[in-house]
Structures are given as C-alpha cells and as structure tokens.
Structure 1
Amino acid sequence: MSANQITNILVVGIGGQGVMTATEILAEAAIALGHDAKKTEVAGMAQRGGVVSSHLRFGPKVLSPQIMAGTADLLVGFEAAEAMRWCHYLKPGGLVLMNTARLVPPVVDLGLYDYPDDPLAEIKARGYQVHAFDAMAIALELGDVRLGNTVMLGAMADHLPFPPGVLLESILKRFSARKPHMVEVNRKAFEAGRAADAAASHHKESALA
C-alpha cells in the first residue's frame, strides 16, 4: 500500500472479540501519522456474540467511511465464517487475515445462517489470498483469551502503510496508564501475531513452490 493513497481495511467478527477496539486503535495509529481517518461500525445483533463489521478508511483526505464491495485492501476476519462471508469486499490482489478459531454466532443458532463446513477452503476456492492462523490458541498460550485482539493487530502490522512500531505504540498506550501490568503481555501478543502472519505467508509460498 502506498502512503499517498486511501487505505481501506474491513474488520469483521463476533461481538466481544474486540473488532471495534481494533479498528479504533488502527485509526489512532493512522491519525498519529497525520492521516485523515474515518470509520464506521455495524453490529448485527445488539448483544455480545452478534456479528460485527467495522470499516476504516485513511489517507490524505477521506470523504466517507464506507468501504464498497471490491475495494478493500485488507480484510481482517476475527472469526472464520465472518471472514468468508465478507471476502467479496476485497479488491483484486487484496489480502484476508483470518483467525481460524470458530465462534458460532447467534444467527446460526436461530437458523438464520448455516455455518460453512470449511471457511478457509471456501475463501481459497474463490481465488483470494489468505493468511490463516489460530489467534485464540496463541492468546491462550499467552495466558488470556482477550489477547486475541492484540494478536490480530500484530498480524496486520506488516500489511499497513506505516511501520509496525506505530501500531504497537497505539496499543500499548491504552495500558501504560491504567493497566501497566498488561503492557508486556500485549507486546508479546503483538509480536506473536506478526510471527503467525509471517509463518502463514511462508506456508502459502511453500505450497506454491
């Protein structure tokens, strides 16, 4: 991505995963570098566990927060089926970052939506490039499932038009004053997310070789 163009990032998942918080942190990082940034959120159900999507656009001048289908540079799926459901929003050459952990939303329990058998395979079958990893498992290894949010942000870090350190600083400043004991573990979660993305990228390249 060029620093002089509009960057479109769509973050999707299930309520309680930190989708909106992740988008806020991304926007803060972009604004810190002087970008104009606009975002919007849509919660499918007004309760924890409902499907959530969050649009973020930033660049020299942004007129609307809404990302149109076929124009997203990056789709970040905090949940596997939601990543699949939104992948048509990617532009040609766009990338899906996908948490493979499954969190079945209430719309499935209500019979409004069938959970796909293999979301990752479906995304690949549609021709999209995807980096997939289990962010929930990584967070649990670090001792707190809530760190999945930071793991996902770390995975995004090397696909943004600014240095990873800028994003990390935006994450850590949220904890430095109120929860200083959480700074180091979030730093580790961020780097674990970067490593998971790099491993997923290497796996994909090896499979193509």
Structure 2
Amino acid sequence: MSNTTSPFGLGAEYENKSDVKSIMIVGVGGQGTLLASRLLGNVIQQNGFDVKVSEVHGMSQRGGSVVTYVKFGSEVYSPVIEKGEADTILAFETLEAARYLPYLKKGGKLIVNTQQIDPMPVITGAASYPEDLIGKLKATGADVIDFDAFSVAEEAGSVKAVNVVLIGKLAKNSQFPKEQWEKAIVETVPEKFRELNLKAFELSYNQ
C-alpha cells in the first residue's frame, strides 16, 4: 500500500500518519453527500486515523449547495479546510466542482460527476449554465477525473445510488483496500438498500 499517486496524497511517506490530509465532498442538497462522508469516515477510522467531519449547507433547502469537510491524520483539531488545502475534491455536480476548485491544492485531484443540476438562477432564467465546464476545469491544470456517475447509478438500478458510485471512484483512486469500502457500505447502508449500493460501488470501482 505505497501508492504515491493516490488522490489522498498517501504513500510510503505517510506511514507514520503524522500528516493531516483533507478531502472535500461537494454537491447539492438531495444528492446523498452525507452518506458519502459517512462511508469515507468509516474507512478512515478502520485504518486507525483520527478523523473530523463537518457538513456545511450553503442553502438549507433541497437543491442548495452542500459541502462536507473531511480531515484525517494522527491528530486532527479542526475539520475546516481553507482555500488551497484540499488534497482531493469529490464533486457530485459539475458547477459545484467549479465553485470549490479554489480549495484544491496544487497537485490535488478533482473527481467530478459530469451530471449538471440547474441552480435556482438558471431555473428562473436569471442566468445560464456555464458551457464546457469540464474543459475549463482541465484547463486550470487540475488533475481531473470526470465521469457520468448518474448513468452508472442507473445501470446499478437507481439514480439515488450516485453517491455510492462516486465513492467507488474515490475508492479506486485511494490506497485503502476495496474490502474496507465494501465493509463500510455493509455497516452504514440500511439492509434493504445494501445490495443496490454494493452493485453501484462495484460497477464504479471496476470502470
């Protein structure tokens, strides 16, 4: 487990767990970002790290911007992530990826769902959804992994599994073993949704 290309910034140099790492999960209300942060926190704790998680709602209603800070290391005092500090950003929606890009550190990784959800100004006609956002994100020099998580979730059996599809992509690009992520799903997801979410994870992880 010495993959120095992990988006977590983990590798052989991290074995003493002394360095604090930061991950942001960003999306809009109703996409299941909270479950994603719980799964991530579960896996991190399985590996003996101290982890702090904080969820922030830009708007409280469904469809508003939501961001979760996750920081872990041997000892973490605050979950807050400042601009330029995030080792990884997991973006559930393209515009939210662009909104929080300034928080990504140089050399960090952006995993982004290409799904587009119109914010209220676009819905009301007061603004237009920006064109070619993925191209613009890549043009900044960020290390971008973009994919259609919505379609993968549909293939798994429900678009509501987008969050676990995104976790599958994060897992694939981490040094944490696949079995630990599956264990986290079993422990965190209600039994009636477990099979669906394990399938969504598997499809995403193996892409």
Q: Which residue in 1 is equivalent to 2:180?
A: 166
Q: Deviation of residue 132 (structure 1)?
A: 0.6
**Residue 28 (structure 2) aligned to one of 2, 7, 14:** 14
Runs of 5+ in structure 2 lacking a partner? 1-9
Provide the secondary structure at the position in 2 that maps to 1:169.
helix
Runs of 5+ in structure 1 lacking a partner? 197-209
RMSD of aligned residue pairs (Cα, Å): 1.8
Whether contact under 8 Å (2:156, 2:203) holds in the other structure is: no
Whether contact under 8 Å (1:74, 1:95) holds in the other structure is: yes
Does residue 78 of structure 1 match 2:92?
Answer: yes
* Cα distance in 1, alignment partners of residues 47 and 39 from structure 2: 13
Q: Deviation of residue 21 (structure 1)?
A: 1.7
Alignment CA distance shift 1:107-1:19 (3 Å): farther
Provide the secondary structure at the position in 1 that maps to 2:206.
helix
1:78-132 CA deviation, whole Å, 9 max, x = no partner? Answer: 0011011111211111111010011112254357765311110111111111111
Q: Which residue in 2 is equivalent to 1:188?
A: 199
1:137-188 CA deviation, whole Å, 9 max, x = no partner? Answer: 111122201111110000000333422221221112223xx42x43232222
1:28-60 CA deviation, whole Å, 9 max, x = no partner? Answer: 221222211101111111111111011100111
TM-score by length of 1: 0.85
Provide the secondary structure at the position in 2 that maps to 1:16.
coil
Whether contact under 8 Å (1:139, 1:146) holds in the other structure is: yes
Q: Which amino acid aligns with 1:63?
A: Y
Does residue 41 of structure 1 match 2:55?
Answer: yes
Alignment CA distance shift 1:95-1:112 (3 Å): farther
Q: Which amino acid aligns with 2:170?
A: M
Q: Which residue in 2 is equivalent to 1:31?
A: 45
Does residue 93 of structure 1 match 2:107?
Answer: yes
Moved more, 77-86 or 155-164: 155-164
Q: How does 1:22-171 map to 2 (within 5 A)?
A: 22-109=36-123, 114-171=128-185
Structure that is richer in helix per residue: 1
Whether contact under 8 Å (1:50, 1:107) holds in the other structure is: no
* Cα distance in 1, alignment partners of residues 108 and 153 from structure 2: 26
Whether contact under 8 Å (1:172, 1:186) holds in the other structure is: no
Aligned residue pairs total: 193
